[in-house]
Structure 1
Amino acid sequence: MTPVVFVHGLRTSRTMWRFQQEALGRYGCPTVAIDLPGHGERRGERFTLDGAVQAVADGVRSVGGRAAVVGLSLGGYVAIRHAARHPEQVAGLVAASCCTRPLRLLLDGWTVLARGIARLPDAGAALNQRSVDAVLPAQAAIDVAAGGFALDVMDDVLGAMRSADPVADLRRVRAPVWLVNGRYDHFRGEERRFLAACSDGRLVIVPRATHLVSLSAPVGFTRVLLGAVDELSRSAAARPGPHR
């Protein structure tokens, strides 16, 4: 069975993947969910794109050196960069909620907004919690909050993303790619451009799901993931072994 490494989104942590890890565990699939620099148990560290890619590489090594890598939003961009830089580690790539290029105009707007929120007396903690409670099912809200929220990482992440080029990275990926977006995801605007960059790509739209597709539609997302793992595992089993 192909192992799976999970990469979380911005400000969250590895606990956001609890539903998927439990489901894949019942399926007999080994998994690990990592914390990126500046998040979860690594809060207080500086976030860099290179450091994030290294965290994914370390996660893959912990499950045997080759895995399906699954990332959402920020984690999706990081997973794409990792797959381009470490092709030997990637059996397959599931990049969710990251089909928009991080263009300067977009990043500039997010930076102004994030710095304004950071100046609130609680650094935006209450606003963040209200948003989570408003858009996620109750159990998903509990899971995503369990690892804490990295409210002070925005400047580092938005600065790091200025050097990201996910479309160019996808052109270098030779493993099968699943681009997974929620129907109502505001980050799916360039999904056809991203799909065209893949040498072996599929585009999957999850009905009634939003940007946080694995949390807002956990069952639908997990079905897609199980299908990907099954396809990768069958493909690996069908490959001839080394000649003796």
Structure 2
Amino acid sequence: MTTTVVMVHGIRTSATMWRSQLAHLADRGVAAVAVDLPGHGTRMAETFTLETAWATIDDAVRTAARSGEVLLVGHSMGGLLCTAYVGAEDPPPVDAYIGASCTALPRGAALTTYRVLARGFDRLPGRGFPIAEWVLDRTLPDETRADFGAGGYAYDAQDAALRSLSILDLLAALRRIEVPTWFINGQYDQLRVNERLFVSLVPHAELVVVPRTSHLVTAMRPRVFNALLDVALATMAGRASGGSAR
């Protein structure tokens, strides 16, 4: 059975962050698509809303599902959106799910603080771009460094996107997820704070913590992340053939 991997990027970046994963999957002969959310990448001129973001994910998933099974992969904000999407009351046609760097509840003082910090960073010269580039130069390997920001940075969509996340009922969504699920975090990821809670609420979930890695686990350790994609695909293949689920 054909499996398609659908990938959803995090806040401010774009589909280009998945180039390493797209190349890896292409080498394996696995169909894959990386979407741009509204207000990001090729859709920078659009306004970000939860409704249009979910519509983007849903369109990609349902298009992929026409050909077979779907592995949905989301990073950071994209992971939070995908968690809510997979755990909807009316489950979408997703057969397995990877949520990367997204195991924190986006609400309360933590979300308010993050928004305040993001606004302050946005007021710096160049909207903080020189600082961000300095950090990325020193943390990302050459093989992914150019890809991460190749689609541009969605500064204008950032606050609206963060604000919208506060209405997500992730606890309810997590309890409804019934497909094989992997939560993948970097060891030094600030969004690890609720990882044990996330895993405890999903019956078929596993937690993978990648050592010596930050929030940008897909770009900082691309070969490790690609290997974890292979694990998910092998699990799906085993289930489809009637073998063990894990």
Q: TM-score, normalised by structure 1?
A: 0.92
Please give the secondary structure, in 1, of the residue aligned with 2:127: coil
Residue 122 (structure 1) shift: 2.2
Q: Does 1:34 align with 2:38?
A: no
For structure 2, the 5+ residue unaligned runs are none
Tell me which stretches of 4 or more aligned residues in structure 1 moved more than 6 Å: none
Could you list the per-position Cα deviations for residues 181-207 of structure 1 after superposition, in whole angstroms to 9, with x for gaps in the alignment?
112211112111000110211111112
1:120 aligns with 2:124: yes
Contact 1:6 1:17 in 2 (8 A): yes
- Classify the secondary structure of the residue corresponding to 2:6: strand
Secondary structure of 1:209's partner?
Answer: coil
Q: Which runs of 5+ in 1 are unaligned?
A: 240-244
* Match of residue 78 from structure 1: 81
**119-128 vs 141-150, which deviates more?**
119-128
What displacement does 1:165 show? 2.6
Moved more, 162-171 or 29-38: 162-171
**1:242 aligned partner:** none
In structure 1, what is the Cα distance between the partners aligned to 2:18 and 2:214?
Answer: 16
RMSD: 1.6
> Which letter does structure 2 place at the counterpart of 1:114?
A
Q: Specify the alignment match of 1:7 in structure 2.
A: 8
The partner residue of 1:95 within 96, 99, 102 is 99
One-letter identity of the residue aligned with 2:142: A
Q: Aligned AA for 1:168? A: A
2:115 maps to 1:111: yes
Take 1:234 and 1:5, find their aligned partners in 2: how far apart are those partners? Answer: 20
Residue range with higher mean Cα deviation, 73-82 or 229-238: 229-238
Is the contact made by 1:47 and 1:157 (CA closer than 8 Å) also made in structure 2? yes
Letter in 2 for 1:34: V
Per the TM alignment, residue 210 of structure 1 is displaced from its structure 2 partner at its CA by: 1.4
SS in 2 for 1:187: helix
Query: Per-residue deviation at 1:235?
Result: 1.1
Deviations 1:104-128 (A, max 9, x none): 2011111211222222342222233
Q: Which moved more, 1:212-221 or 1:135-144?
A: 135-144
AA partner of residue 161 (structure 2): V
Percent identity, please: 39
How many angstroms apart in 2 are the aligned matches of 1:180 and 1:115?
A: 28
Instruction: Find 2:177's aligned residue among 173, 179, 182.
Output: 173
**Contact 2:65 2:93 (8 Å CA) reproduced:** no
Matched residue, 2:49 = 48
| Pairing 1:1-244 to 2, within 5 Å after superposition | 1-65=2-66, 66-85=69-88, 87-238=91-242
Q: 1:21 deviation in Å?
A: 1.0
Could you tell me which amino acid in structure 2 is paired with residue 3 of structure 1? T
Answer whether contact 2:103 2:194 (CA < 8 A) is retained.
Answer: yes
1:202 and 1:28 mapped to 2: Cα distance? 26
